[in-house]
C-alpha cells in the first residue's frame, strides 16, 4: 500500500514537470513492466525494446493521466497497445519458442529439492509442456491471465486496463482459463493442475534477480456465477448445452414446462451476452 501511495505521489509530481520524479517513476516501473511484457512476448530482446517504447510513451503522455491512482492500469494498457502494434504493424507471427524462457530460471526450477517427488527429467518435460501450452493462447487470453494471476489485479482494474467492463474482463478470464486447461489436457495434463501450471510458468518467466513468482492463488481463478455462465455459453460445449436443452423441452410434462422455460431463458440470455462480448 505504501509503495502504491509513493507511485501516486511520483505521478502527481511528474505531471507538474519535476524531472527527477519522472525519472524515478520510470525506474520504479521498469521491472514490473518488463515482467508483464516478457510474459506476453516471452522474448527477452523484444521485451526490452517494447519496454523502452512503453516507457517513452509513458513519459510523453503522463500529463494526460487524469487519475494518478490508476497509474498501473493505464501503464499496462499502454504496454499492451505497444505489443499489439508490434505484431499487427509488422504482420509478425506470435510464435514463441521455449528457448526464449529464462535459462537461469529453468535451471533453478530443475535443481530444486521440492516435495513434489519429481526428478529433473520430469520437471523439464513438465516445463516444456506448460510453456508450449501457454504460447498457444491468444494474446488477449494470455494478457488477462498475466494481469490477474501475476499482477494480482482485480477484475475491475483489469477491465480498466483493457478498456472494457468488469463483466467482460471476468468472461475473458474464464475463457482464457478454459483455453489453457484445454491446451494442457491435449498435452496429457489433468485440468486440476491448472494452478500448478500457472505457478511454474510464473517461476520460469520471473525476471532475474526477483523473488520466486511461482505461487498463484486458486481463489484468483474464480470469476463468479454470471461470468461463468456467459463464458460457458460462448464455448462449443456451451452451445451444445443450449441445443440439448432446447431438445429436452419436448420431453417435459406440462407442470414442469414453465419452470424450465425460465431456466432456458437464462441460459439463452447468457449465450447471447457471450456472443455480444465477443
For the cut 70, the answer to whether the pLDDT of residue 162 exceeds it is yes
The reported pLDDT for the residue numbered 242 is 45
Helical spans, DSSP H, in 17-147: 19-41, 44-61, 71-89, 103-111, 120-135, 139-145
For the cut 50, the answer to whether the pLDDT of residue 197 exceeds it is yes
Domain boundary among 95, 110, 126: 95
Tell me the CATH number at 148.
Answer: 1.10.10.10
Number of domain units in the chain: 3
| Shared-domain flag, residues 118 and 211 | yes
Domain boundary among 28, 61, 95: 95
98 exposed, middle or buried (CB, 10 Å; 0-12, 13-18, 19+)? middle
Average pLDDT on 28-44 reads 92
| Shared-domain flag, residues 91 and 102 | no
| Shared-domain flag, residues 19 and 71 | yes
| Shared-domain flag, residues 84 and 177 | no
Find where cell 432456458 sits.
Answer: 264
For the cut 50, the answer to whether the pLDDT of residue 46 exceeds it is yes
* Mean pLDDT rounded to a whole number for the chain: 81
| Shared-domain flag, residues 31 and 89 | yes
Domain boundary among 40, 69, 95: 95
| Shared-domain flag, residues 195 and 266 | no
pLDDT in tens, 60-76: 999 999 999 999 999 99
| Shared-domain flag, residues 243 and 201 | no
Tell me the CATH number at 10.
Answer: 1.10.1740.10
List the beta strands (DSSP E) in 53-141.
Answer: none
| Shared-domain flag, residues 208 and 256 | no
Domain hosting residue 117, numbered range: 98-219
Average pLDDT on 91-112 reads 62
The reported pLDDT for the residue numbered 181 is 95
Average pLDDT on 121-143 reads 90
Per DSSP, the residues of 141-172 read: HHHHHIIIIIS---HHHHHHHHTS-HHHHHHH
Report the run of H or E that residue 102 belongs to, with start and end.
none
**Res. 192 pLDDT band, cuts 50 70 90:** confident
For the cut 60, the answer to whether the pLDDT of residue 224 exceeds it is yes
pLDDT in tens, 166-187: 999 999 999 999 999 999 999 9
For the cut 60, the answer to whether the pLDDT of residue 206 exceeds it is yes
Contact yes or no for 162/143 (Cβ under 8 A): yes
| Shared-domain flag, residues 87 and 103 | no
Position with higher pLDDT, 199 vs 112: 199
The reported pLDDT for the residue numbered 277 is 52
| Shared-domain flag, residues 163 and 117 | yes
Residue 272 neighbours by CB under 8 Å, 6+ apart: 233
pTM score, whole prediction: 0.78
| Shared-domain flag, residues 203 and 115 | yes
| Shared-domain flag, residues 231 and 269 | yes
Amino acid at each position: 500500500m505504501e509503495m502504491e501511495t509513493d507511485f501516486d505521489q511520483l505521478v502527481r509530481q511528474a505531471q507538474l514537470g519535476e524531472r527527477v520524479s519522472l525519472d524515478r517513476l520510470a525506474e520504479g516501473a521498469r521491472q514490473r513492466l518488463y515482467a508483464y511484457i516478457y510474459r506476453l512476448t516471452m522474448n527477452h530482446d523484444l521485451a526490452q525494446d517494447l519496454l523502452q517504447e512503453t516507457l517513452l510513451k509513458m513519459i510523453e503522455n503522463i500529463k494526460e493521466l487524469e487519475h494518478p491512482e490508476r497509474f498501473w492500469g493505464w501503464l499496462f494498457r499502454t504496454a499492451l497497445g505497444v505489443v499489439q502494434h508490434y505484431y499487427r504493424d509488422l504482420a509478425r507471427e506470435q510464435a514463441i519458442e521455449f528457448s526464449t524462457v529464462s535459462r537461469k530460471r529453468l535451471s533453478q526450477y530443475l535443481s530444486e529439492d521440492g516435495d513434489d517427488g519429481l526428478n529433473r527429467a520430469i520437471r523439464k518435460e513438465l516445463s516444456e509442456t506448460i510453456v508450449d501450452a501457454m504460447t498457444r493462447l491468444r494474446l488477449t487470453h494470455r494478457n488477462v491471465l498475466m494481469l490477474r494471476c501475476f499482477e494480482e489485479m482485480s477484475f475491475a482494474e483489469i477491465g480498466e486496463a483493457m478498456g472494457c467492463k468488469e463483466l467482460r474482463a471476468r468472461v475473458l478470464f474464464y475463457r482464457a482459463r478454459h483455453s489453457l486447461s484445454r491446451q494442457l489436457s491435449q498435452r496429457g495434463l489433468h485440468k486440476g493442475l491448472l494452478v500448478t501450471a500457472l505457478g511454474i510458468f510464473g517461476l520460469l518467466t520471473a525476471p532475474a534477480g526477483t523473488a520466486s513468482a511461482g505461487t498463484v492463488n486458486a481463489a484468483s481463478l474464480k470469476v463468479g456465477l454470471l461470468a461463468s455462465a456467459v463464458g460457458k455459453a460462448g464455448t462449443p460445449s456451451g452451445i451444445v448445452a443450449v441445443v440439448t436443452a432446447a431438445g429436452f423441452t419436448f420431453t417435459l410434462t406440462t407442470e414442469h414446462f414453465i419452470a424450465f422455460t425460465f431456466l432456458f431463458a437464462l441460459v439463452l440470455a447468457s449465450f447471447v451476452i457471450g456472443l455480444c462480448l465477443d
